[in-house]
A = this chain, B = another copy of it.
């Protein structure tokens, strides 16, 4: 395998005794090349260890690169998503690159912009807090698929799970187990720029609606997006009177904090159940066994890449793909036994 070839298209052309245009056609699999010419060019390419310069190609046509912006790598959901995306790209000429947004709030757009600056052929992004107008402008100049947004966009596609339904599934699961005092621990609205269509805002709405349908009072607690913050908030909840017999956490990492508080308080799942969201790998681990809402991350990755390839192929009309989440029940939720 060659490493970084010093050979250019001109070298290959000379070696094969053809024009540079001919070499270009061969490497792009364009038509209008005789078998004989193709053979000679391919031989020259092998002999010289020629590799096309992506930078040069990007200036004229395609960069053969798809970029995906992620807010963090720490979330297992994204790993699964990326694997799904990669698998959908296996037979294509595209290479996937990831631009991590980093911790700062404004780094989402910055990382997305960095991808656009690099002439990627298409962008996949997870950025709940970016303004739709900015995305519309971006989508007008480069194929764009946003993950986890419920926007009714014109110039980009969206792939999202039905957060309203997911939250309903979680809440009704707990209601079905006999729980009546169910608290919802979620992110502060600012974490999503206060957008009412953002995933966690919708999950909260779904929870609230399910509680209302059951004739019960909703109890919503806002926390910083960490295990630790949820741990402390849950301890406070469990120390109150009356205290909840079940906690629906906005995502699995929060649920881990709730789980810890429950365990430390010496309570069983029957006394205080916990349900998360995302069904990350850790939720499935037998030592954790967290009931959670599954978004089928891998399938989302495949679908998102599919939409992006369609856009690259010329589709201009927006597609909004909504996945139906499902609940995976595990040991962290159990029939309500009441307290004391």
Contact = CB atoms under 8 A, between A and B. Distances in A.
A113 B55 contact: no
Interface string A95-107: 1111110110000
Interface stretch (A13-21, A194-202, A256-264): A256-264
A86 B73 contact: no
A264 B286 contact: yes
A288 B287 CA distance: 8
A212 interface: no
Contact of A113 (B1, B117, B227, B286): B1
A291 interface: no
A140 B4 CA distance: 9
A31 interface: no
Contacts of A285: 227, 256, 260
A191 interface: no
Given A72-B79, A102-B83, A109 B55 contact: no
Interface stretch (A58-66, A180-188, A237-245, A323-331): A58-66
Interface in A135-192: 137-138, 140-142
Contacts of A137: 3
A100 B286 CA distance: 28
A117 B260 contact: no
A160 to B, nearest CB: 21
Nearest to A231: B286
B55 A119 contact: yes
A281 interface: yes
Interface string A14-36: 00000000000000000000000
Nearest to A87: B102
A89 to B, nearest CB: 10
5 contacts: A1-B113, A53-B117, A55-B63, A55-B118, A73-B79
**Nearest 3 pairs between A and B by C-beta?**
A55-B58, A4-B141, A98-B98
Given A3-B137, A53-B59, 14 more contacts: A3-B116, A3-B138, A6-B141, A52-B117, A55-B56, A55-B58, A59-B59, A63-B118, A73-B82, A73-B98, A74-B76, A74-B281, A83-B103, A86-B102
